[in-house]
Structure 1
Amino acid sequence: MTTQPLPLLHARELPTTGEELRTAASTVNALIAELPATPSAPDLIRLRQVLAPDHYEPAGPQEAASLEEAFSEHDAFFGVARAHGSADLFLRALLIAEIDTALDLARTATSLSPAECSALVSGGSALLGRRRARDGSGDLVRPPEVRTALPADEHTAQQRWRSGHRLVFTHLQAITVTCGCAVHARTAAGQSAYLEDTVLFCTTAALAMRHAADFSPELYVRSIRPSMTPPHVGAGFSGLQTRDHHYLVQSLDSLGTRLLPDVVEGTTYRKFEEALGRLYAAHVHVCRRFGGDTNASLRMEASKEDSGTTGAERARQYAGLRLRKLGGRRPAA
């Protein structure tokens, strides 16, 4: 797996309209037109090389100093570089993160089902407009058919933790993008179609969270958690430093009031709310898997909080607040 940072387009520069997204997809499709769609590792590596930008312009600080410092620390830990450039950088990063996940699956297994593994790496193909066959053969990136054992040592666990989170970040960006495209679509059918894409990426982001944490709790305690404490990072390292989630919350803040009433009251919006709920539930799952039912989070430990609340319970509280806020944004009947 590459040790180079993954260039992620800064969230302020993500495409926000269907036209911008289609233009980006056209650029990427032209770039990879002659490449095969296959789970073969050599072909995936070649595809990754073609997608990786030869150069990119770093996106400078765009937030208040304290917030930018927290975001930047989080980005650096997970191997992310924020880029300034055209919208196709968003799709390139999405596909690269999916390729890295497929290559990870070729080395070490996952407890996800074959269908879940396929969904995990097919979101980029969907945004490129590729026609998907029932067996998944239309996807540009596909998981390998043969997998070995779950990560069993600190190195492979660290690889999965970091590459899995990079996949989460790209899928969070995709949720933000498809929500923006839905808002700017002019018809109920167009808005619903983009919301269907949002449902897809809420689902895959939840799978990516589960995949990122798919190794033993003992490895987390021995290797992962210590790497997220001083002197490696500042005290109180937290998912609240996730830049892409910060912008996602902003995009969701007034979503219900910006969509057509027929869409907000329709089945697709309900599916979206349910899928977003599953996404936050996946975060709680990760907290619980690694001792969050009995222990405080790193952030709570650093603040010396003694409220009797566990890390998993705090994650559930945050999730409830965000989901209630979303539901409360529906237009009045």
Structure 2
Amino acid sequence: MTPTPTSIDRVVLPTDSTIPVARSAEYDTYFRISRSDDAHAWAVSALAVVTAITTDLPQSTLDNDSRLRLLDALAVVVGDASAAAAAAAQERSPSPLAAPPNHSETGQHDRTLQAPNAAAQQAITRWKKGHHLFHLFVISMNSRLAAVLESLASEQWPDLADQLTELGTLYAGATESMRYASDFSPEIYRDFVRPSMEPPWLEPGFSAVFNRDHDVMLTRAKVVRTTLKTAELPSVAADSARRLWKSQAENRRAHQLICQRFVPGGDSLLQEHFDAADQSN
């Protein structure tokens, strides 16, 4: 049996930054993601994730540079969460606070046993909490990618430079969140984490391509990159843009290295599913 502890709290993410894609609900269920338009609920959830990650960070194997990059990006998310909570408080009526996420919900993957040892338990927790953090970074990226286009259109160059700088910080944080989420041995991934994303717990072909928040980010990032390349930017904004592209490139390299470490030369679950389907035809 594969370990998937139900003790992991769900993270709440806003619904308006997503594009529905096939099987995205299954992705959200596996990673314990709830959706809400309540800014207060999102802010509280974001701060809870930040607290959990910073508490566990000293026990991780991330080096000091990685931890500093992660903390810099966490500061951006905390600022976003605090601003959202303050705005929600001003708009909120005297009605009771929104109900917290229902942590008793069970999905197909929740019918697994607890991890048989502390290392596997820690691994599956980091795997999911690290993905929670990655989502928070992506949500903050999405808002800034939209703001970048607005600043470009109005030629607000100082604002544009600040937004690009924060985007670079968030990309670097997303890279470190992937390292944190995968901070366990390949053997534990093989024996516990990967099987938890396979039948009978999930449908065949489970994949990160079902991450709708990331799908929005990729779409917006392409538009921003194309627009920036054709714009005549002042030096301060151009420098920020170059640092952003560097952070994006590092993010892609880090993801490839993590995949290679866990599945050397191997295919993703989705590719394996496609290969099996081809062989059966």
Which TM-score band applies after superposition, normalised by the shorter structure?
0.7 to 0.9
Q: Work out whether 1:10 is the aligned partner of 2:15.
A: yes
1:306 Cα deviation (Å)?
A: 10
Q: Work out whether 1:295 is the aligned partner of 2:266.
A: yes
CA contact (8 A) 2:73 2:172 kept: no
Aligned to 2:67: 117
Q: Work out whether 1:162 is the aligned partner of 2:128.
A: yes
Per the alignment, in what secondary structure is the counterpart of residue 265 of structure 2?
coil
Per the alignment, in what secondary structure is the counterpart of residue 7 of structure 1?
strand
Alpha-carbon distance in 1 for matches of 2:54, 2:23: 30
Aligned to 1:133: none
Among 233, 244, 267, which residue is 1:262 paired with? 233
Alpha-carbon distance in 2 for matches of 1:238, 1:97: 23
- The within-5 A match list for 1:170-249 is 170-185=136-151, 186=154, 187-249=156-218
1:305 Cα deviation (Å)?
A: 6.6
In structure 2, the CA distance between the partners of 1:125 and 1:176, relative to structure 1 (3 Å rule), is: same
CA contact (8 A) 1:213 1:286 kept: yes
1:3 Cα deviation (Å)?
A: 2.9
Alpha-carbon distance in 1 for matches of 2:46, 2:142: 13
Q: Work out whether 1:282 is the aligned partner of 2:228.
A: no
RMSD of Structure 2 on Structure 1 (CA): 2.7
1:267 Cα deviation (Å)?
A: 1.6
Alpha-carbon distance in 1 for matches of 2:56, 2:234: 39
Q: Which amino acid aligns with 1:84?
A: D
CA contact (8 A) 2:141 2:217 kept: yes
Alpha-carbon distance in 1 for matches of 2:223, 2:234: 14
Across the two proteins, how many residue pairs are aligned to each other?
A: 231
CA contact (8 A) 1:192 1:263 kept: no
In structure 2, the CA distance between the partners of 1:90 and 1:274, relative to structure 1 (3 Å rule), is: farther
Alpha-carbon distance in 1 for matches of 2:150, 2:38: 22
- Where structure 1 has 5 or more consecutive residues not aligned to the other structure, the ranges are 14-61, 131-150, 308-333
Among 47, 63, 80, which residue is 2:33 paired with? 80
Aligned to 1:71: 24
Per the alignment, in what secondary structure is the counterpart of residue 275 of structure 2?
coil
State the Cα deviation string for residues 187-220 of structure 1 (Å, max 9, x = none): 1111111000000000000000011101011101
Per the alignment, in what secondary structure is the counterpart of residue 202 of structure 2?
coil
In structure 2, the CA distance between the partners of 1:92 and 1:277, relative to structure 1 (3 Å rule), is: farther
Alpha-carbon distance in 2 for matches of 1:196, 1:90: 24
In structure 2, the CA distance between the partners of 1:299 and 1:129, relative to structure 1 (3 Å rule), is: closer
Q: Which amino acid aligns with 1:94?
A: A
Higher helix share: 2
Alpha-carbon distance in 1 for matches of 2:17, 2:136: 14
Alpha-carbon distance in 2 for matches of 1:287, 1:306: 23
TM-score by length of 1: 0.63
State the Cα deviation string for residues 12-52 of structure 1 (Å, max 9, x = none): 38xxxxxxxxxxxxxxxxxxxxxxxxxxxxxxxxxxxxxxx
CA contact (8 A) 1:98 1:122 kept: no
In structure 2, the CA distance between the partners of 1:256 and 1:226, relative to structure 1 (3 Å rule), is: closer
CA contact (8 A) 2:149 2:224 kept: yes
Alpha-carbon distance in 1 for matches of 2:234, 2:241: 7
In structure 2, the CA distance between the partners of 1:254 and 1:89, relative to structure 1 (3 Å rule), is: farther
CA contact (8 A) 1:4 1:79 kept: yes
1:81 Cα deviation (Å)?
A: 0.4
- Where structure 2 has 5 or more consecutive residues not aligned to the other structure, the ranges are 81-116
1:238 Cα deviation (Å)?
A: 0.7
Alpha-carbon distance in 2 for matches of 1:224, 1:129: 32
In structure 2, the CA distance between the partners of 1:258 and 1:158, relative to structure 1 (3 Å rule), is: same
Per the alignment, in what secondary structure is the counterpart of residue 84 of structure 1?
coil
In structure 2, the CA distance between the partners of 1:129 and 1:99, relative to structure 1 (3 Å rule), is: closer
Q: Which amino acid aligns with 1:287?
A: C
1:176 Cα deviation (Å)?
A: 1.4
CA contact (8 A) 1:171 1:201 kept: yes
**Greater Cα shift, 209-218 or 121-130:** 121-130
Per the alignment, in what secondary structure is the counterpart of residue 9 of structure 2?
coil
1:4 Cα deviation (Å)?
A: 2.9
